[in-house]
């Protein structure tokens, strides 16, 4: 379950993933309150650790951390970086590997805490566009025109300095697109998509230490 936080209200998508990196949309929705969001999560039986919520830099950031700490959700934040260095233990010693997300940071919220995941906007949006082109990121035909419209709300171009970027198409709402981008983060952590996907591993070793493996 991936959540895009607005000044008022919340968009979310819930997506089911298979071990071969294919996924299907279960539900998308807009709700007005945190309570409604929590109720939909529980009704559709999404485990707390698999709720990923955009924290951003806006006025709601402290509230997002507080809710994540209360419910055991994961906070996220997009970054302009392309990738991040990781120290990886190998049989011949430690090496530096690069991934499109950063090791989780612990954010203290009173006596509780939550984890904040920083990810590359460019890398995840490129990945989303790629798996959509392959037909591996599907949605039901009756999902509604609003979902389809928002999924074409950004396009890839280059900045004035030549750097590749994704930009919004006019004033078209892009909240569900943002949700689907956030939803790739746990799929990458679980090695369902991205570099090194589908290596023969058991469930316990299939993901990075910061999050348990999802069940199909």
Query: How far is 11 from 150, CA to CA, in rounded Å?
Result: 12
Q: Is the pLDDT of residue 216 over 70?
A: no
pLDDT tens column, 9-49:
999 999 999 999 999 999 999 999 999 999 999 999 999 99
Q: What mean pLDDT is predicted for residues 50-65? A: 92
Query: How far is 20 from 148, CA to CA, in rounded Å?
Result: 24
Is the whole-model pTM more than 0.75? yes
Yes or no: say if 210 and 103 are a contact pair by the CB < 8 Å rule: yes
Confidence of residue 187 (pLDDT cuts 50, 70, 90): very high
Q: Is the pLDDT of residue 207 over 90?
A: no
Query: How far is 81 from 56, CA to CA, in rounded Å?
Result: 15
Yes or no: say if 181 and 128 are a contact pair by the CB < 8 Å rule: yes
Beta strands per DSSP E along the chain: 2-5, 10-17, 23-31, 52-54, 74-79, 84-90, 93-99, 105-109, 112-120, 137-138, 154-158, 164-168
Sequence spans of domains, the chain: 2-205
Q: Is the pLDDT of residue 56 over 90?
A: no
Letter string b/e over residues 36-58, b meaning 16 or more CB atoms within 10 A of that residue's CB: ebbebbeeeebeebbbbbbbbee
Average per-residue pLDDT for the chain = 90
Radius of gyration of the chain (CA): 17
Query: How far is 16 from 22, CA to CA, in rounded Å?
Result: 9
The pLDDT value given to residue 47: 97
pLDDT tens column, 85-115:
999 888 999 999 999 999 999 999 999 999 9
2-205: CATH topology is Nucleotidyltransferase; domain 5 (3.30.420)
Q: Is the pLDDT of residue 209 over 60?
A: no
Confidence of residue 7 (pLDDT cuts 50, 70, 90): confident
Phi and psi of 121, rounded to 5°?
A: -60, -45
Partner residues linked to 164 by β-bridges:
158
pLDDT tens column, 137-167:
999 999 999 999 999 999 999 999 999 999 9
């Amino acid at each position: 379950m991936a959540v895009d936080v607005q000044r008022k209200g919340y968009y979310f998508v819930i997506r089911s993933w298979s071990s071969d990196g294919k996924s299907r949309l279960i539900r998308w929705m807009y709700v007005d309150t945190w309570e409604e969001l929590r109720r939909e999560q529980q009704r559709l039986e999404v485990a707390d650790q698999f709720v990923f919520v955009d924290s951003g830099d806006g006025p709601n950031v402290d509230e997002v951390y507080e809710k994540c700490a209360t419910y055991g959700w994961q906070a996220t934040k997009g970054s302009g970086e392309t990738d991040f260095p990781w120290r990886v233990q190998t049989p011949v010693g430690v090496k530096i590997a690069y991934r499109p997300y950063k090791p989780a940071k612990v954010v203290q919220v009173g006596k509780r805490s939550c984890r904040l995941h920083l990810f590359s906007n460019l890398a995840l949006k490129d990945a989303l566009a790629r798996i959509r082109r392959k037909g591996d990121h599907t949605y039901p035909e009756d999902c509604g025109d609003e979902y389809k419209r928002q999924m074409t709300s950004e396009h890839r171009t280059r900045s004035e300095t030549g750097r590749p970027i994704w930009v919004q198409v006019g004033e078209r709402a892009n909240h569900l697109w943002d949700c689907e981008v956030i939803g790739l983060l746990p799929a990458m952590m679980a090695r369902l998509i991205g570099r090194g996907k589908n290596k023969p591993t058991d469930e316990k070793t299939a993901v990075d230490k910061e999050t348990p493996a999802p069940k199909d």
